[in-house]
Amino acid sequence: MIAAAARESRVVGALGRRALTLQFRRAQLLMPTFVLPLFLLAVIASGTSAGRDLRDFPEVSSYLGFVVAGTLLQGALLAGLTAGIAMASDIEGGFFDRLLAAPVRRTSLVLGRLAGTLGLAVLQMAWFLTVALIFGASYPGGVLGAVGAAILAALTAVGIGGLAIAIAIRTGSMNLMQSIFPFVFVLLFTAPAFFPRDLLTPTLHDIAAYNPLTYVVEGARGLLQDDASLGDPWLGLAAAVGLAAFATGLAVLALRDRARRT
Amino acid sequence: MSSRTNSPAGPVAWAFWIRSLGEVTRVRGALVGTSIAPLVFLLGTSGQFGRLSGLPGFPTDSYLSWIIPLCCLQGAGFAGAAAGANLARDIEQGWFDRLLVAPVARPLLILGPVLGAITRAMVPVTLVLVVGLLIGGELTGGPLGILALYVASVGFCTVAAMWGIAMAVIFRTQQAGPLMQMGVFLGVFLSTAYTPQLLLKGWLEDVARFNPVSHVLELGRQATVSGIDVSLAHTWPGLVALAGMIAFFGALAMVGLRRMGR
Amino acid sequence: MASRSSSSHPAVAVRGLERAFKGGIKAVDGLDLEVPEGEIYGFLGPNGAGKTTTVRILVTLLRPTGGEARVAGHDVVSDADAVRRNIGVALQEAAIDPLMSGVELLRMQGALHGMRGSEARGRATELLERVGLTDAGGRRVGQYSGGMRRRLDLAMALVHRPKVLFLDEPTTGLDPTSRNALWREVRGLNDDGTTVFLTTQYLEEAEQLADRVGIIAGGSLVAEGTPAELKSRVGEPTLHVDLAEGADVPAARRALSTVGPLVDCADDARVAIRAARGKATVPDAIRALDDAGIAVESVEVVSPTLDDVFAAVTGSTLEGAGGGAADGETAGVGA
C-alpha cells in the first residue's frame, strides 16, 4: 500500500517536472504566462490610477499594490489554460497514448499535470509580486501576506488547470484550447480583479458574487494590504481549494471516460 | 515572349484578397480570437472601470461609450497582427516562396494580406459597435462619427498588419506571433485607452501624449463620446498619425521583404 | 506568358556562381554550368552540397554573392521579374495551402501570372485533366495524398506555360506508382519543348529522366555529362560467371582470359572479366567455356551505375540511391 503510494507519487513528480520543463522550452507559452499579465498590470495601474480619486475607493498604501492581486489572478488563469493546451498537444502528438498505456493510475496522470501547473504558478506569483515591488507596489501584509496571496493564486491555477485539462481530454483539440483564450478573461472580468467590488457596475457587482474567483482575489488583496475589509483570506482559501478539488475531479472523470472509450 | 512588366496589380490583389478571406470562412475558430476577445474586453472593462466616467474632466458620463472605440481598434489591431502570423506560417510552410517566384510587384505581396486583414477586421469592429450600442453605448457622432470610427479602425488595422508583416518577413517564424500581438497591445493600451489624457498619471501620461494611437482613438471616439464632437480638429491629428505609422511600418515591411533573398 | 519560340541563349547559364552565408560559409563556390533549351538536366548532390541553394538562386529566391546566373536569357538579379515570368517552380515538400482546393490554387496561380479569370479557369480545367486530378479538383488540398499534392504542385508550376521548369526533388517520399506517373508527366512536358532543371537524390530518377547530369559537391560541379558518359568514365562493365559445382576453376579462368582481361573475384566458384562490349561479350564467353568443357550455372554483366559515378567523384553515396545498370542487369559493383 505504502509502496504503491510512493510509486504513484514518483509518477506525479516525474510528470510534474516534465510539464514544468516543457513550459520553459516553449517560448510561445512563456509570453502569456509571465509577460502578458505584467503588461496588463502596467497599463491598468497607470491608466486607471485616477480611480483612487473616486469617493468610495478604499484607502490603500499603493494603487499598484492593490491592482497586483488581479495580476495574480490573471496569471493563475493563464497558467491553468496553458496546462490544458499542453495536454491537448500531448493528445494530438500521441504522447498521451503512451502515458495511458503505462501501468499508472489515471488519477496520477491528472495530478502530474496539475503538479506542473502548481509549480509554474508558484514561480509566476513570485515573479509578479517581485516585479510589482520593484516598480513601487507596497505590501503592508509583509512577506507572510505575499506568500499567502501567492498560495491562493497558485491553488486557483490548479483549479483552472483542472477545468482546462478536462476540456482538453474531452476534445483533444489544440485549436479549441487556444480559441478559448478570450473566455479566460470572462472569468477575470466577472470578478473584481482590478477594482473594488463596490465600484463595479451594478450588473457586474451582482454577477461577481457567483464567481469563486471574486473571493480569491479579494482574499489575496486582504492579505497583501493587511486589511480584512478588502477581503477575507479564509473565504478566498475555501474558494480556491473548492475550485481545485472540483476541477480535479472533473478532469479525472474526463480521463476515465476517455480511457473507456478508447 | 518575355516581358519586363509584372502581372497586372488588380487581379493579383483580388486573388490575394480572396485567399485571405478563406481564412475566415474555412478555418474553424479563426475569428474567435479577434472577435470575441474585444467583445469580452468591452464588457469586462466597462463593468470594472465604469465608475471612472464620474471623475471630473471625463468627456462623457458613459464609460461604455468611451471604451467602444478602444475595443474596435483592439479588434482591428489583432486582425491586422493576424495577417503577420498567417504570413509567418506561409513562409515556414514554403507557400510564400511560390508567391515570391511569381512575376508580381513586391508591394502587392504585402498589400494582399493587408486587404484581407481589413476585411476580416470589419467583423469585430462591427460586432463591438453594435453590441456596445445595444447595451447602452451612445451614438453621439451620427453617420460622420461612425465613418470616423471605421476610418480609424481600418487605418489601425493597416498599421497593425504592416507591423505584423514586417515581423514575419524579418523573423520568418510563427514564433514571432506573440511579438506581433504584443506590439498591437502596447500600441493600443499605452495611450488614452482607459482615461483621457487629463486624468492620466505618472509615466503613462507622457507615453500616451506621444503615442500616435491616442490621436487615432480620438478620431474614432467622435462616434460615441459626447465630449468629442465631430470636427476637423479631432480628425486630422488621427489621420496624420495613421499616415505616419502606415508609412513607417510599410517601409519596414518592404525593407524586410527585400532582404528576404539576401 | 512565356512563349515557346526557340532562341539563341541557353535555358540556364551559370558562371562562377557563389553564395556565402553568415560566417563566410560558401554553399555555392564558383559553380559553372549551362543547360541548353529543351534538355532535362539532372542536378545531383548529397545533402549540403549546395544544390538547393543553387536552385533558390536560379528561381530568384536568393541573391548570389558572386558570379552570374541567367535563366531564359535573363539575369536572375537585375532582371528577376523577367526570369519569374519564364519559369515554373515546384519546390521541395510541395508547398501548397492546404485550405484551398486544387481549382482555387490553379486559378490563383493564373492570376499571379496575369491571366484573366476565364483564361485561368480554362487553364485550371486543362491542367487538372492533364495531371489526373479532375475529380479531386474541388476538394481541399489538405485531403490530398502525397502523390496528388505533387501532381497539383506540378500543374501549378505549368499554369503559365513556362520555358524552364525547376523541379526540386519532385518525387521524394512518393510511392513507386506515383513516382512513375510523375516521371511520365515530366517526359511529356519535355517532349513539348519545356526545359527541365531537376534536382534529385534518386540516381534512378536522374538515369530515367535526365539527358545530362551534373554532380555538385562542396558547392561546385565535380562531374557533368550524359549518364552513359559519366558511367563510362568510372569503368567498363564486368562479366561474372558462376561455375557449376565441381567445375575446373583454373581452366575456366584460362578460357575466359582469351575473351577479356581477368578481374579479381572473391568467390572461388566465380570468374570475372572486363567486358568492354557489355552484353555482346556474353556469347564469346559462353563459347570459350563450352569449348573448354566447363559447365556454367549463370552469367551476368554488371555495369557501373550513377551511384558508382557519384561515389567516385564525391567520395560518398546518396541516400536512397538505387539504379539499374544501363544494360538492365544487376548493379552493385563498385568502381
pLDDT tens for each residue of B94-139: 888 888 888 888 888 898 889 989 998 999 999 999 999 999 999 9
pLDDT score recorded for residue B25: 62
> Which pLDDT band, with edges at 50, 70 and 90, does B28 fall under?
low
Give the distance, in angstroms, between the CA of residue A252 and the centroid of all CA atoms in the same chain: 19
**Residue spans per domain, chain B:** 9-260
- How far, in Å, CA of A183 to CA of B37, rounded? 8
Angle at Cα B52 formed by Cα B51 and Cα B58, nearest 5°? 130
* pLDDT number for residue B23: 66
Percent of chain B with pLDDT over 90: 60
pLDDT at C46: 80
Are C91 and B94 a contacting pair at CB < 8 A?
yes
**Chain A interface residues (partner B, CB cutoff 8 A):** 27-28, 31-32, 35-36, 39-40, 43-44, 46-51, 53-54, 175-176, 178-179, 181-183, 185-186, 188-190, 192-195, 199-201, 203-204
Q: How large is the ipTM? A: 0.80
pLDDT tens-digit series, residues A187-229? 899 999 999 999 999 989 999 999 999 999 999 999 999 998 9
pLDDT band at C198 (very low <50, low <70, confident <90, very high): very high
**Confidence (pLDDT) at A226:** 93
CB nearest B3 (choices: C82, C111, C115): C82
Nearest to A50 among B44, B47, B199 (CB): B199
Please state, for a pLDDT cut of 70, what percent of chain B lies above it.
93
User: Closest partner residue to A27 among B41, B43, B175, by Cβ?
Assistant: B175
Predicted local distance difference test score (pLDDT) of residue A77: 94
A189/B47 Cβ within 8 A: yes
Query: What residues in A contact B190, CB-CB < 8 Å?
Result: 43
Residue C1: per-residue pLDDT: 43
Measured CA to CA, the distance from residue B66 to residue B132 in angstroms comes to 10
Task: State mean pLDDT over C133-153.
Answer: 89
Provide the mean pLDDT of chain B.
Answer: 89
pLDDT tens by residue, B132-178: 999 999 999 999 999 999 999 999 999 999 999 999 999 888 778 77
Measured CA to CA, the distance from residue A114 to residue A243 in angstroms comes to 13
Short-list C13, C122, C95, C93, CA closest to C57: C13
Mean pLDDT of B40-59: 91
Of C170, C142, C143, C140, the C-alpha closest to C155 is: C170
B189 → closest Cβ in A47, A185, A192: A47
Residues of chain A with pLDDT under 70: 26-29, 262
| Amino acid in position A22 | L
Neighbour-count burial for C280-302, b at 16+ CB within 10 Å, e otherwise: ebbebbeebbeeeebebeeeebb
- pLDDT score of C40 more than 50: yes
- For residue C4, name the pLDDT band (cuts at 50, 70, 90): very low
Residue range C231-289, pLDDT digits in tens? 877 777 888 888 888 888 889 989 988 988 888 777 777 888 888 787 888 899 899 99
* The pLDDT of residue B31 is above 70: no
- The verdict on B90 touching C (C-beta cutoff 8 Å) is yes
**Cell digits of residue B192:** 488614452
Give pLDDT, residue C263. Answer: 81
Between residues B196 and C302, the one the model is more confident about: B196
3-class DSSP assignment, residue C263: strand
Confidence at residue C323, expressed as pLDDT on a 0 to 100 scale: 38
Question: Crossing angle of helices B9-26/B106-134, nearest 10°?
Answer: 40
Q: What is the pLDDT of residue C7?
A: 61
What would the DSSP string read from start to end of C166-217? EEESTTTT--HHHHHHHHHHHHHHHHTT-EEEEEES-HHHHHHH-SEEEEEE
Neighbours of B108 (CB within 10 A): 21
Q: Which residue has the cell 480569491?
A: A216
Residue C3 clears pLDDT 50, i.e. is over it: no
For residues A207 and A203, give the distance between their C-alpha atoms in angstroms, rounded to a whole number: 6
Helix and strand numbers, DSSP H then E, in chain C: 11, 14
Mean pLDDT, chain C, rounded, equals 84
User: What would the grid cell of residue B143 be?
Assistant: 453617420
- Position B159 scores a pLDDT of 98
B200 touches chain A (CB under 8 A): yes
pLDDT band at C170 (very low <50, low <70, confident <90, very high): confident
Give the integer Cα–Cα distance in Å for C1 and A37: 54
pLDDT attached to residue B143: 96
Task: Report pLDDT for A262.
Answer: 62
- Angstrom distance (rounded) from CA A23 to CA A79: 10
Q: Which amino acid is at C104?
A: E
Whether pLDDT at C221 is above 50? yes
Residue C328's pLDDT is 35
Q: Do C182 and C157 contact (CB within 8 A), yes or no?
A: no
- pTM of the shown model: 0.78
Q: What is the pLDDT of residues A155-189, one digit of tens each?
A: 999 999 999 999 999 988 877 787 777 778 888 99
